[in-house]
Amino acid sequence: MLSTEIKTTLLKIPFKEEGVAIYQSEKQFVTKTTITDYNTVAIENFDNDLSKANNSEFYSAYMVGEPLKAGKKYNITYRFVPNPLKKQEAVMVISEAVEIDSINSFEITEEVKQEIDVIRGDTSMPIQERLEFLFEQDLARVREYNNFDLWLLTTMTFHSSLRINYNGKPLRGYLDAIAIGETRSGKSVMANNHVKKYRLGKIINADGSTTQALLGGKVETSEGQRIRYGTLSREHEGLVILEEIKDIASQLLLKIRSVRSSQMLKIDRVAGSLEMVLYVRMLMLSNPRVLEGNTIDMRNNFNNGLEVLSSIVPAQEDQTRFDCIFLVDNPKNLTRKSPDPFTYQYADLIPDEYFADALRAI
């Protein structure tokens, strides 16, 4: 128990000040953390270049009670209070943190069950026919790209489970996929449509990004070196779509081999390595790498699909870690019959929130 004299010294109050009563509250568990505003434009800059991160984008804070978890998103209640140990410098104290849009904390209500029944439809319908129906619903959103296989790959990536319990041990359950295709073959449009529909995932343009910005690393601040989590780290238990990875694929895949094999991210620092568990669904999108002056035409520039993949991912140990490798053909080469684009009027479409709630329920 601190003496009254010590308390008044810490609080910068004269020892014999009249009309002041000091009470010592019960002890609470407090942790120091670093937070950032997820919705600020500055974060987009940070995604492309870690060196652009500055003190204004990241805040040191003290969390009262249960500590915050790395990579999670919260709505917080906080206030700034003077720190008597640092010349009354204002410090953020968080009194309440509510996790937002968490798949793990999602509650299945009767309303959600009804939404799932709408998506499930007639249970006697063959699975292939039901998939065709759901695909044609999406054609109303992306009419120009009638590619069922690309839609199925993206849909399976979004719906894959993070973990599967096998013999009492958690194993990775999500898909590690890559789609390689020519320009304007629908890769990005399909990915954007799914992110919007399911309210899940973050699309990152890797062109011009650094592996440090994607994974995290050391940053010099006024308080010394700090570890800044990268985009993948912040999307723990979420989903990341990496576009235009052909110029960074080899370097990035080398850095995240441990993530793809054991779901552990390792960040090197002066005081030793920092390791964190990282479960994140990843879908990589890229154009094939062709010789300068050649057109991006997979049929004319490559003999087989393995050559296409090797142009982006040359290391065999990285190639074998993919669960699904999909080559996206030019839309003009697709032989699939396109349904009438006006088959489904907007009012007939299943609402996006039904798909988002069903995904979280799964």
- What is the mean predicted confidence (pLDDT) over 171-184? 86
User: In the prediction, which pLDDT does 321 show?
Assistant: 87
pLDDT band at 335 (very low <50, low <70, confident <90, very high): low
Q: Tokens for 150? A: 């690309």
User: What is the chain's mean pLDDT, rounded?
Assistant: 76
User: In the prediction, which pLDDT does 328 show?
Assistant: 84
User: In the prediction, which pLDDT does 296 show?
Assistant: 64
Amino acid occupying residue 28: Q
Instruction: Decide: residue 324, CB within 10 A, 0-12 exposed, 13-18 middle, 19+ buried.
Output: middle
User: In the prediction, which pLDDT does 52 show?
Assistant: 43
pLDDT tens digits for 105-120? 677 888 888 888 888 8
Q: Residue 138 in contact with residue 148, Cβ under 8 Å?
A: no
pLDDT tens digits for 55-75? 345 678 889 888 887 667 788
- What is the mean predicted confidence (pLDDT) over 186-198? 86
Per-range mean pLDDT, top range of 187-191, 204-208, 249-253, 350-354: 187-191
User: In the prediction, which pLDDT does 71 show?
Assistant: 65
User: In the prediction, which pLDDT does 145 show?
Assistant: 65
Number of alpha helices (DSSP H) and beta strands (DSSP E) in the chain: 14, 15
Q: Tokens for 185? A: 């073959």
- What is the mean predicted confidence (pLDDT) over 2-19? 68
pLDDT tens digits for 17-39? 777 776 766 777 888 887 877 65
Q: Residue 328 in contact with residue 141, Cβ under 8 Å?
A: no
Distances in Å between the Cα of 331 and the Cα atoms of 70, 150, 264 are 41, 11, 38
User: In the prediction, which pLDDT does 43 show?
Assistant: 38
Q: Residue 208 in contact with residue 226, Cβ under 8 Å?
A: no
Residues in the chain, overall count: 362
User: In the prediction, which pLDDT does 68 show?
Assistant: 84
User: In the prediction, which pLDDT does 347 show?
Assistant: 44
pLDDT tens digits for 264-310? 777 766 555 667 778 888 899 988 877 665 566 677 778 888 888 88
Q: Residue 253 in contact with residue 211, Cβ under 8 Å?
A: no
Amino acid occupying residue 32: K
- pLDDT greater at residue 37 or residue 322: 322
pLDDT band at 49 (very low <50, low <70, confident <90, very high): very low
| Alpha-helical segments (H) within 274-325 | 298-301, 305-312, 316-319
- What is the mean predicted confidence (pLDDT) over 168-192? 85
Whole-angstrom distance, CA of residue 2 vs CA of residue 182: 70
pLDDT tens digits for 208-255? 677 777 777 766 666 666 666 777 777 788 888 988 887 777 777 887
Whole-angstrom distance, CA of residue 62 vs CA of residue 95: 9
Q: Tokens for 95? A: 């009194």
Instruction: Decide: residue 217, CB within 10 A, 0-12 exposed, 13-18 middle, 19+ buried.
Output: buried
Say if residue 50's pLDDT is above 60. Answer: no
